[in-house]
Structure 1
Amino acid sequence: MPSPIPIHRLLPKGFSPTLTLRPCSSPNRTPGKGPQFSFTKPHWALLRRSWYTVIWDELKLLDLLGSGGFGWVYRGTYYGQTVAIKKVRKCTKNRLAARQSFWAELNVAHLVHENIVKIVAATTSVPSDPAIEDSVGTIIMEYAGGTSLDHRIYNCAEPLDIRGCLQFSNDIMSGLAFLHSHHIVHLDLKPANVLITEAGRCKIGDFGCSHKLTTGSDLTPNVQWRHLAGTYTHRAPELLRGCNATLKADIYSFAITLWQMMSRDQPYSGDRQCVVYAVVAYNRRPSFSPIFNETPMGRQIRSIINNCWEVEPNDRPSAKELLESINCLAAQLWR
């Protein structure tokens, strides 16, 4: 199934659109051999980036990990290695949005970073299998574990302490700074889209709302379409107003996420439209609980959050600046 929008806008760097473009991307496979993938070795970035067909006989679905508006995510195996398999739903109310979500996932197909979920392969073709054929496309990804940051915040008896919040924030911002250095804005950063590995490290996933910006500036609006996807509780006010997206939209989303890690509460309650109106018209933000005022460290984190959810994108720090601030706080804590 071809992309409904120009392929050159959606394909990752290294994937060249041609008239003979095959329906599947696998940047980590050599012709005649099984896929040469290793989730911990940097040589991934050096492997040949071409389009090859997924070997469906080697792909096995094991169990459902979760589902959302655009599809399902399964744990499975590919050539014997545990992977996550995302199937983008075909039967949705907005088929164009579903196809855009699939192609947006491939914005990071050529990227390798320890804090980003790695894509192994992706295809728009499907075999005659009822478990797969109801999808727009299938994406095979690194299996980063079955626990999300959302689950860690709200479903674990032991709350995150400040040390844990800073460690997770460091991981998230490291991944985000890397994405922004490649001019990719995530546009749906939230705890549910951050996975925690067995080693306790965070990886950013779910790039179905992501966009590759056309210039390197994170201050100049350069997305030529109105981005309406994402999660309204974490969406920057300029996006809620219908403005163009910049990298600073992710900084706002991170502020809400860090607030959640610290407060262990939901950002807002009440009707969606009322919340959106309050954020846009009255600059409403989540309330700070006493934990932010009990210690000097808590007050510094509160200051960081306030800077990150400023109304004007230009007033928010960059991902690189924010990473440096978090590292400074961590250094103070670990002295």
Structure 2
Amino acid sequence: MELNPMALNEGDRLGRYQVKAVVGTGGMGVVYRAYDPQLERLVAIKVLDPVHSQEGDEGHTSTRLLQEARSASALNHPNVCTIYEVSEQGECAFIAMEYIDGRPLDRLIAGGLPISEAIDYAHQIADALAHAHEHGVIHGDLKAANVIVSSQGRVKVVDFGLARRQSTDSEKTFATETSPISGTPYAMAPQQLTGARPDAQSDIWALGVLLHEMLAGSRPFAGRTTAELVSSILRD
């Protein structure tokens, strides 16, 4: 019987990987903790929901997933989640990546963090972004949920969901997303909210928003609706 990649159980296989448990789910798909018997290590497997692979899907999400893997796999830094493999099995596309035993930063910052701890985390995130930018890769959706902190205090930036290799002027049209705005509104720079593509400057803006969250325990901009939030960012 053919397995449903969105509902795998412990012991099921995806490629050479043995599924152990579900780590999380989201709009893009499912993330599993799995074991790689070939290299004898735990990995995280990000499986794209097949609905995103259907012909005519606006934004070509499955293509973006593969671009994410190719972009991030070029990075080799202690504060960046390492991509091991990108593969397709029939209509199932998945990424095998470093398994990080830690907690998402958004679960740690309610009420704010001690100043020294917040600065340490921000420094590690900045190092990760600097490495990525040096290699022509941007994150595009940096936020607390995309930062994992280990029990030893090591930060890993994950989920380069909007990452793409920075293009030359002649490549801009080819690399531009179908949608003029994509990302998480509260962390987006003003230029993104007016339709500009994410770039290194917008990553730095998002880091500033994240540092505010870590220190104050709240976001610097707010609104009862997305429209009010966007207005606050553009105005204030």
TM over 0.5: yes
The aligned runs of 1:241-252 (5 Å cut-off) are 241-252=194-205
The SS at the match of 1:150 is helix
**2:35: which partner in 1?**
77
Alpha-carbon shift at residue 76 of structure 1 (Å)? 1.3
Match of 2:108 among 152, 170, 180: 152
The SS at the match of 1:209 is coil
Alpha-carbon shift at residue 266 of structure 1 (Å)? 3.8
**2:142: which partner in 1?**
189
Residues 140, 199 of structure 2: 8 Å contact kept: no
Q: Any idea what the Cα deviations from partners look like across 1:85-117, whole Å, max 9, x if unmatched?
A: 101112259464421331232201122110000
* Long gaps (5+) in structure 2: 1-12
Alpha-carbon shift at residue 277 of structure 1 (Å)? 2.7
Alpha-carbon shift at residue 183 of structure 1 (Å)? 1.3
Is 1:103–2:61 an aligned residue pair? Answer: no
Residues 117, 203 of structure 1: 8 Å contact kept: yes
The aligned runs of 1:273-292 (5 Å cut-off) are 273-280=227-234, 282=235, 284=236
Residues 86, 95 of structure 2: 8 Å contact kept: yes
Considering fraction of residues, name the structure with more strand.
2
Alpha-carbon shift at residue 143 of structure 1 (Å)? 0.7
The SS at the match of 2:31 is strand
Number of residue pairs aligned between Structure 1 and Structure 2: 213
The SS at the match of 2:75 is coil
Is 1:199–2:152 an aligned residue pair? Answer: yes
The aligned runs of 1:293-304 (5 Å cut-off) are none
Alpha-carbon shift at residue 264 of structure 1 (Å)? 0.8
TM-score (ref. length: structure 2): 0.82
**1:22: which partner in 2?**
none
Alpha-carbon shift at residue 58 of structure 1 (Å)? 3.2
Alpha-carbon shift at residue 57 of structure 1 (Å)? 5.7
**2:18: which partner in 1?**
60
**1:141: which partner in 2?**
97
Residues 146, 159 of structure 2: 8 Å contact kept: yes
Aligned equivalents of 1:66, 1:233: Cα separation in 2: 22
What fraction of aligned residue pairs are identical, expressed as a percent? 27
**2:117: which partner in 1?**
164
The aligned runs of 1:231-242 (5 Å cut-off) are 231-242=184-195
Is 1:214–2:170 an aligned residue pair? Answer: no
Q: Any idea what the Cα deviations from partners look like across 1:211-240, whole Å, max 9, x if unmatched?
A: 21125xxxx9x8432552211111111111
Decide whether aligned partners of structure 1 residues 197 and 273 sit closer, same or farther in structure 2, where only a CA change above 3 A counts. Answer: same
Alpha-carbon shift at residue 146 of structure 1 (Å)? 3.9
Aligned equivalents of 1:175, 1:213: Cα separation in 2: 16
The SS at the match of 1:184 is coil
Residues 75, 131 of structure 2: 8 Å contact kept: no
Aligned equivalents of 1:56, 1:110: Cα separation in 2: 23
Residues 138, 200 of structure 2: 8 Å contact kept: yes
Alpha-carbon shift at residue 275 of structure 1 (Å)? 1.2
Aligned equivalents of 1:255, 1:62: Cα separation in 2: 37
Residues 22, 32 of structure 2: 8 Å contact kept: yes
Residues 112, 216 of structure 2: 8 Å contact kept: no
Give the counterpart letter for 1:66 in structure 2: G
Give the counterpart letter for 2:98 in structure 1: E
Higher-Rg member (1/2): 1
The SS at the match of 1:91 is helix
Alpha-carbon shift at residue 56 of structure 1 (Å)? 4.1
Residues 73, 87 of structure 1: 8 Å contact kept: yes
Aligned equivalents of 2:165, 2:18: Cα separation in 1: 31
Across the aligned residues of Structure 1 and Structure 2, the Cα RMSD in angstroms comes to: 2.4
Residues 104, 208 of structure 1: 8 Å contact kept: no
Aligned equivalents of 2:115, 2:137: Cα separation in 1: 29
Match of 1:270 among 224, 227, 235: 224
Is 1:91–2:25 an aligned residue pair? Answer: no
* Long gaps (5+) in structure 1: 1-54, 127-132, 285-335
Decide whether aligned partners of structure 1 residues 244 and 63 sit closer, same or farther in structure 2, where only a CA change above 3 A counts. Answer: same
